[in-house]
Structure 1
Amino acid sequence: MPTLKAIAASTLSLPADNYIYSITASAPGSFAAISSDDSLRVFDAANIDHVSVVSHKTHDGGVTSLRSYPAGDSQLLATGGREGTVKLWDVRAGNAVLEMEMSRHSAVLSLACSPETNTIVAGSELVSSQAVVAFWDIRSPQAPRLQYVESHNDDITELQYHPSRSNILLSGSTDGLVNIYDTTVTDEDEALVQVINHGSIHHAGFLSDRTIFALSHDEDFAVHPATDPDEPGEGPEPVQFGDVREPLACEYVAQLCIGSQGPYMAAGNKIDQRLDLVPLVSSPAWQFDKDNTWRLPGAHGDEVVRAVYLDEQSQSVFTGGEDGYVRAWKPTEDGDAQSQAGSAKTSRKDKKQKDQGRFKPY
C-alpha cells in the first residue's frame, strides 16, 4: 500500500488544548486555518511554521466555517460565526473588509462563495423553526439580496456551488435533505430543482457537473445523479454504499476530497492511528478502489482528523486535527513512513497513547 510520510508538523502557534477546524487555500503557496480558539491564521505551504495571524478573535460567538474567496490579486477569506455574522477578510491588510448579518442573528454553520456573481451565501442553525439560506451581493452587503427559508427544517450544515454553473447551489441539512437550487429564481418553490433524501448531512457536494455525493453523520454514503429539468425522463439510479466504516476499515470519515485525479474518501482510524485516502472511481461503476489507497500512518495519533486538503501545486497533503497540529505529508518512494510518523503520536494534551493496532482489512 503506498504511503505518505509526515514531513512537517506545526501548532500554528495556537494556545495549548486547541484544535484545527478547517483548512482552505488562501493565496498561491499559502493556506488558512480556523481553530477552536476562534482565530484565523495563514501559513506557508513550504514552511508551515511560518504563520501569520489574521485575527485572534474572528467572531465573538465563535468561528464555525471558512471558505476562500478568490478575487484576482486580492487574498480574501470568508468566515461564519455563531453570533450570526459573515465576514470577508483581506489577508494582506489583516482585517475584515465586510460584515454581513443573518436575520434573527442565527448562527452561521456553512458558507459558499461565488466571485463570478459577487455572492457569499450562508446556511444557518435552526432558530424558531426556521433555517435560512441567505445570499449577499458583496457590493451591497447591508441586507441579503435573497433568502430561502422553507426548504430545510433543521441546521444547514453544507453549501456548495456547482463546479461550472454559478447559478446552481447545493445545500445539505441535518433534516436529511440535499437540495439543489437555481439561484436565478427568487420564488423558493420554483428555485428548488432537485431534492435528495439521504439522512442527517455531514458533507455533500458535486463530484462532477452531473454527479452529487451525500455523507451522513453516521457515515452512510451515496452517489446520486444530478437531474436536469430540461431533460424529461428518469435518470440513472443512485449508488447506495451504506455505512462505509466496515468496508473502509475506519472509525469515521473526515471528508471527501476532490483532486485532479478524482475524489478520495479521507477515512480515519484512531485506534490504529492512521488516515487513509481511498480513491472513489466511477468505472465500470461507482466503487472504492481500495487497492490504490494512500495511507498516512500515525495521522494525528489517537485524535480525530478534522481537516484534509490536497495541494497539487506542492504535491502535498495538509491535515489538521484535534491534537492541535497541522501536518504536511508527501509520498515516500519505499512506502515506509512509520519512522516519520513518530511525531504524529505526540499529543499536546499529554494523553496516554493507545496501542497502535495492526491494520487488518475486513
Structure 2
Amino acid sequence: MSLDFDVTIDSEEEEDPIEDSDTVANIQEVFRQKFFIDFQECATLKKKYITHAASSNDYSKIAIGIGNEMQVYDFTSTGLSKYIGKNEFGQFSHPVSGVKFFNNDPNLVMASTISGEIHMYDLRSFKKVFMFEDDTEILVKPVNCFDVNANDRLICAGTDELKNEVYLLFFDIRERRLMGGFFESHQEEITDVKFHPTDPDSLASGSTDGLINIFDCKQESEDDALLHSLNTCDSINKLKWHQDNKLSCITNTNDLHLYDIDSQDLLKKWERSEITESMKRKSVVDCNIIDCHNIGTEMMFVATSNYNKGECIRSIKFNEKSLDPLANITGNNQIIRASLYNEKDNVYLTFGEGAIISVWKEGMSSDNGTSSKQMKEESSVKKKMKKKANPY
C-alpha cells in the first residue's frame, strides 16, 4: 500500500492551530552546532514515504524502506550510490515494516514486510539468500518490527495482533529455521524489538499495551526468559539501548522515558511539552521526537516540527537530569519519518515523506543561510522530481 502526500495533516488542521516558531530571538546562541545539507538523494518520483532506515555499522551502506520496496545505497563522503539489482531485488508484494544490516557483515541486509516475511539479501551477488517466515499455521502473522542480535545468529520479529494474540518470533539464522515464539508477555501489537548492542542474549520489546519487556533469550521457556516488565502507562513507539544498560523509550504521544534496566527504575520522563520547550518552539502539537541515538557515552535525540513542511530539525542531548540543546539542522523541506547519526563523522541523515534522503554536516553558511553546495543539491533534487522518467 503506497502512501500519498495528501494524507499529511497540515498544522492548521490540528487541534491547537498555533503558528509554530522559535521562542528565542537568536537560536544559534542556544544551539551552538549548526548543520546544513551536504547532499540529497531522491529515492523515487512516486508519492511514497521513506518510513524506515538503517545503516551498516561502518556506515558504508544505507538501507531504506519505501512503500513495497527496500533500497540500498553505498554511502561515501561524496554522495549516495544506489544498488541496482536484478531479479526484482528488494521488491515485495506488501509494505516494508523494517530494514536491518547484519552487525558484522555490511553486505548482508534484511527487510521485513507486513505479510510476515523477513527477506535476507547478499549485496555481493544481489541475490536473496533466504526468506524467514512462520509457516507453522495457515494464518499469517504480520511482522511490525524485527532485529538481529549482536553475533548475527538470531532474529526476533514482533507481530501485529492476530485473533487477540501477539507474538515474538525467533529465527536461527545459521540453521535457517523458526526456533519458536513468545506469546504471553504482550497483549497488543508489538511496535519495536531491540537486542542489546553487546549482549546477544538480551532483548527489549515494546508494545502499544504500554509494556517494555526485557528477556534473556538463553532461556527455553517464556516464563524463565522474562526478566523484567516495565509499565510505561503509554503506547510505545521506539526503543534504544544506551551506555550502562540504560534504555530510552519514545511513546506514541511523543513523550520520552529513560530507564535503568539493572535497577528497573524510571530515571526520568519528559512530556511532549517539555520536548517542545527544549527545542525552543511554540507549538506542542507540531513537535515530534524522531529517534534516539548515542554520542559516545552520552545520549541524544532528533526532534522536528512538522510546521511549514518540517523546516525545523534539532537534536537534544539528554540524561536523567536535563535536556541540553545540541544542534540546529537547517534547510529541511519534508516531514521527517526516520533519522540516523554517524558518530564517527558527526553526520546526521534524515528520511521522510518527500522520499528524500538528506545528509547533514556541520559547517558555515553563506549570508542567505544556505551553502552553495546545499543550493546546488536542492536544485538537483527539484530537477529530478520534475522529470517523468525514473532517474535510476
Smaller-chain TM-score range?
0.7 to 0.9
Matched positions, count: 334
TM-score (norm 2): 0.78
Superposed CA RMSD in Å reads: 2.5
Name 1:353's counterpart in structure 2: none
Taking the TM superposition and a 5 Å limit, the aligned residue runs for 1:1-362 are: 1=28, 2-12=33-43, 14-26=44-56, 28-54=59-85, 56-72=89-105, 75-102=107-134, 104-116=139-151, 118-142=153-177, 144-198=178-232, 199-227=234-262, 236-243=265-272, 244-247=274-277, 248=279, 249=281, 251-260=287-296, 262-271=298-307, 273-280=311-318, 282=319, 285-290=320-325, 293-299=326-332, 301=333, 303-333=334-364, 338-340=369-371
Does the 8 Å contact 1:323/1:349 carry over to 2? no
How far the C-alpha of 1:8 sits from its partner, in A, is 0.7
How far the C-alpha of 1:140 sits from its partner, in A, is 1.8
Does the 8 Å contact 1:5/1:337 carry over to 2? no
Structure 1 residues 170, 237: CA separation in 2 closer, same or farther (over 3 Å shift)?
Answer: closer
Cα distance in structure 2, aligned partners of 1:3 and 1:227: 36
How far the C-alpha of 1:349 sits from its partner, in A, is 8.2
Structure number with the higher helix fraction is 2
SS in 2 for 1:339: coil
How far the C-alpha of 1:172 sits from its partner, in A, is 0.5
SS in 1 for 2:241: strand
Does the 8 Å contact 2:36/2:331 carry over to 1? no
Per-residue CA deviation, residues 287-327 of structure 1 (Å, 9 max, x unaligned), is: 2112xx2011122x1x3211211123443211111111111
Does the 8 Å contact 2:71/2:82 carry over to 1? no
How far the C-alpha of 1:22 sits from its partner, in A, is 2.2
Does the 8 Å contact 1:146/1:186 carry over to 2? no
Cα distance in structure 2, aligned partners of 1:206 and 1:242: 20
Structure 1 residues 336, 37: CA separation in 2 closer, same or farther (over 3 Å shift)?
Answer: farther
Does the 8 Å contact 1:134/1:147 carry over to 2? yes
Q: Which moved more, 1:218-227 or 1:115-124?
A: 115-124
Name 2:22's counterpart in structure 1: none
How far the C-alpha of 1:286 sits from its partner, in A, is 2.8
Cα distance in structure 2, aligned partners of 1:25 and 1:267: 19
How far the C-alpha of 1:116 sits from its partner, in A, is 1.6
How far the C-alpha of 1:236 sits from its partner, in A, is 4.8
Per-residue CA deviation, residues 197-248 of structure 1 (Å, 9 max, x unaligned), is: 11111111222232111111111111111136xxxxxx65531212244323
Name 1:358's counterpart in structure 2: none
Name 2:14's counterpart in structure 1: none
Does the 8 Å contact 2:36/2:362 carry over to 1? yes
Percent of paired sites with the same residue: 17
Gaps of 5+ in 2: 1-27, 387-392
Per-residue CA deviation, residues 238-267 of structure 1 (Å, 9 max, x unaligned), is: 312122443233611111122326222111
Cα distance in structure 2, aligned partners of 1:120 and 1:9: 32
Cα distance in structure 1, aligned partners of 2:331 and 2:300: 19
Cα distance in structure 2, aligned partners of 1:35 and 1:337: 33
TM-score (norm 1): 0.84
SS in 1 for 2:83: strand
Does the 8 Å contact 1:42/1:53 carry over to 2? no
Cα distance in structure 2, aligned partners of 1:85 and 1:246: 38
Per-residue CA deviation, residues 125-161 of structure 1 (Å, 9 max, x unaligned), is: 111111111111112223x213111111111111111
SS in 2 for 1:246: helix
